[in-house]
Amino acid sequence: MCTSTAMNEEEPPSKRRRMTILMLPDDVVLNCLARVSRLYYPTLSLVSKKFRSLLSSKEVYQTRTLLGRTESCLYVFLRHASPSNSNPQRWFTLSRRPNSSKRILVPISSPNFPSARWSKVAAVGPNIYSIGGLEHNMSSKASSNVMAMDCRSHTWCEAPSMHVAREFHSVCVFDGKIYVTGANENLDSTNWMGVFDTNTRTWEYLQIPGKELCRASQLESVWYEGTLYVRSEKKNVTYKLHKGRWRKVDYAMNYGWGRSSSYCVIENVFYHNFGTTIYWFDSQKRSWQILKGLESLCKSLCNKSAKYLVDYGGKIAVLWQDYVSVKFPRETSIWCAEIAIEKRENGEIWGMLERVDIVFTTDKPSSLVHALATTV
């Protein structure tokens, strides 16, 4: 007589029950998924409805935090120029192509997507904030609205509005707070700068001395060297907040920043792009230095437009667009380069190009509008 063990051993492999990850309890599956890089999440979400639900849940991100598996995730906002396009603007996130090491920009579905034009965006933790801009209506009035996208579920919701409408303003982030500067000529020293605390979800306003800054326009702002820097393109001047007062910065800082097409601050080092070259500001010598080691990247950037520098988890992500043909429709490619930063003992900073990918291609003329990274 055959024993049950012997019968099982003789049973054809096709009839044996196979254990899959979908048969495991949800908490075990969550623990497994939380250990996988978020670059793979768009592909994994195609496996089943269960995976799709778990990957968009707050529980998987809470588990990632507990396991110390949070990472920087790159988001890009593209606008298609074709008037016939039914979806002229959309958010994308950087992901890995299935069965490949190459990366691509994957469009995300984001309910309640804000419709304001020329809004400014800022990333704090797992959220992207869209602030102000012009409302999409016949009047094209400046907007005071603030919307927030939870990058874990890719859903938008309303955040507390600003007390004043703003257009052509600037934003920067420090310590969980979003600093919003400038807007239009109707502001005064009491409301020219608004500060949104993302933890308490409240607004406060920092009064600025004098009226010179209130009249400044075409603003850019950044948090650097422990304080806020604001530059007016129109006035060709940069101010920094020092001991409660605004002071003009030295010529070198203002000149280099004014020539930049894009900039970012990583570990208190200011980087900017001009032409085909990336520079960093030497705060000891008070001068701009070339980020060495990127000769091959400089050739790729030649004659390319819309370059963006992004703090991508301590590395520099460089994004730019390239038109493949001069005929219409103009096929557009979006490129992404990843640069590791090496600080050397002699005080120099070098860049090490780790990879360059074409991450998006479309047969419609498109443009990069925003590029930033969140931590999830």
The predicted pLDDT at position 156 comes to 93
CA 52 to chain centre: 23
Mean pLDDT calculated for residue range 288-303 = 86
- Pairing relationship of beta strands 202-206 and 193-197 according to DSSP bridges: antiparallel
| Amino acid 191: pLDDT | 84
Burial of 217 by CB count in 10 Å (0-12 exposed, 13-18 middle, 19+ buried)?
A: middle
For residue 9, is pLDDT > 90?
A: no
- Cα–Cα nearest to 147, from 123, 126, 172, 129: 129
What pLDDT is stored for residue 51 in this prediction?
A: 87
Residue-wise pLDDT tens digits, 186-211: 777 788 889 999 999 999 988 776 66
CB atoms within 10 A of CB 158: 11
Q: What is the DSSP string of 207-253?
A: --SSSTTTT--SEEEEEETTEEEEEETTTTEEEEEETTEEEEPPHHH
User: Of the ranges 83-92, 314-323, 358-367, which is most confident?
Assistant: 314-323
User: Which residues of 29-107 form beta strands (DSSP E)?
Assistant: 72-80, 89-96, 103-107
Report the distance separating Cα 10 and Cα 14, nearest Å.
11
Q: What gap in Å lies between CA 311 and CA 67, rounded to an integer?
A: 23
Give the pLDDT of residue 18: 58
DSSP string, 335-352: EEEEEEEEE-TTS-EEEE
Q: 46 pLDDT band (50/70/90 cuts)?
A: confident
With a CB cutoff of 8 Å and minimum separation 6, the contacts of 193 are 179, 180, 181, 205, 206, 208
Helix axes 26-34, 58-66, angle to 10 degrees: 60
Check whether 83 has a pLDDT greater than 80. no
Residue 105: its pLDDT value, please?
A: 95
pLDDT number for residue 6:
47
Q: Is 281 within 8 Å of 290 (Cβ atoms)? A: no
Q: Evaluate whether 209 touches 202 at the Cβ level (below 8 Å).
A: no
Q: What is the pLDDT of residues 327-346, one digit of tens each?
A: 665 688 999 999 999 999 99
346 exposed, middle or buried (CB, 10 Å; 0-12, 13-18, 19+)?
Answer: exposed
Q: Mind listing the pLDDT tens digit for each residue in 133-176?
A: 887 665 678 889 999 999 988 999 999 999 888 888 999 999 99
Q: What SS3 class is residue 180?
A: strand
With tokens 């592909």, the residue in question is: 43
Give residue-wise pLDDT tens across range 230-265.
998 888 999 998 887 888 999 999 999 998 989 999
Q: What is the mean pLDDT of residues 22-42?
A: 87
**Contact status, residue 38 vs residue 376, Cβ threshold 8 Å:** yes
The predicted pLDDT at position 131 comes to 95
pLDDT for 7 beyond 80: no
pLDDT at 12 over 90: no
* Cα–Cα distance measured from residue 195 to residue 115, given in angstroms and rounded to the nearest whole number: 23
Which residues are paired to 317 by β-bridges?
310, 338
CB 230 within 8 A of CB 249: no
Identify the weakest region by mean pLDDT among 24-28, 219-223, 267-271, 335-339. Answer: 24-28
Residue of 228, 275, 234 lying closest to 256 (CA atoms): 275
